[in-house]
Amino acid sequence: MAETLLEIKDLTHRFGGLTAVSDLNFEIIKDEIVGLIGPNGAGKTTVFNLVSGFYVPSEGDILYKGERINGLKPHEIASRQIGRTFQNIRLWSDMTVLDNIKISQHYRLGYNLMDAFLQTKKYKKHEKMIEDDAHELLEEFQLSDLAHEMPKNLPYGIQRRVEIARALSLKPALLMLDEPAAGLSSSDVSELIQYIQWIKENFKLTIWMIEHQMQVIMSLCSRIKVIDFGKELVTGTAEEVRNSPEVIKAYLGDGEI
């Protein structure tokens, strides 16, 4: 029996009078790569923001590893090992790549303010651990040479990789990627596909992604959920989704002019 990692039950979210997400149900099974697609404004990023704790859902529940996480603060959800990236890269662009990775280990600092002031044994031990782990992660991502660079000075494609590496410093079981291929050239995109595949194998992750580029979605995702106006249209394999009349209608209209 496959293990459910994330379970979304009857999720509804309203902004004032606008229902951005309505009655959404979704299960993400351990070890799969699933996609969330839909036309612009369909509520995809809102779903991500609900799961990562930026919004508290109006109705419904979000269960992660069986624990209810709606209502928790984003940093509390991050500490439960859910990593995420953003559609527009949100690195701390004026802090070094190394600092970006190190700060993202706040969830397991292991020392407090006093330890930092007095530079106690505990402080040194944990700082060393964080530093070593950060270097190890950068090494795995072949970013070691850039450890002391500021992200703002790096090319866009590299920034994407740094952002994914940063999300992985949370040691997540679930990685949520919000349009990882946005703004990449077509050669970068095929590289990204291999890259995501590699991350999944190497870090034993479950990946949930929003993506517009069908090439990425079709070649990676075992299951795809399509939403429009916050409601579910179809869930199925790439082939099923591609041939679904509802999806074609949502993207292209119903053919009557």
Chain residues binding other proteins by CB under 8 A are 52-54, 73-75, 78-79, 84, 86, 90-95, 99, 102-107, 109, 111-113, 116-117, 119, 123, 127, 130, 166-167, 169-170
Q: How far is the CB of 182 from other proteins (least distance, A)?
A: 16
Q: Which residues pair with 62 in a beta bridge?
A: 8
| Closest CB to other proteins among residues 22, 52 | 52
| Buried b / exposed e along 80-113 (16+ C-beta atoms within 10 A) | bebbbbbbeeebeeeeebbbbbbebbeeeeebee
| Closest CB to other proteins among residues 177, 217 | 177
Q: How far is the CB of 177 from other proteins (least distance, A)?
A: 13
Q: Are strands 4-15 and 59-64 parallel, antiparallel or unpaired?
A: antiparallel
- Residue ranges of the alpha helices (H) in the chain? 44-51, 74-79, 97-103, 113-118, 121-140, 156-168, 186-203, 214-220, 238-243, 245-252
| Closest CB to other proteins among residues 97, 250 | 97
Q: Which of 55, 46, 54, 57 is nearest to 9 (CA)?
A: 57
Q: How far is the CB of 132 from other proteins (least distance, A)?
A: 12
Q: How far is the CB of 99 from other proteins (least distance, A)?
A: 6
| Closest CB to other proteins among residues 54, 251 | 54
Coil, helix or strand at residue 189: helix
| Closest CB to other proteins among residues 90, 249 | 90
Report whether 48 contacts 210 (CB < 8 A): yes
Report whether 158 contacts 166 (CB < 8 A): no
- Sign, CA dihedral 133-139-75-173, equals negative
Q: How far is the CB of 98 from other proteins (least distance, A)?
A: 10
| Closest CB to other proteins among residues 134, 226 | 134
Q: How far is the CB of 126 from other proteins (least distance, A)?
A: 8
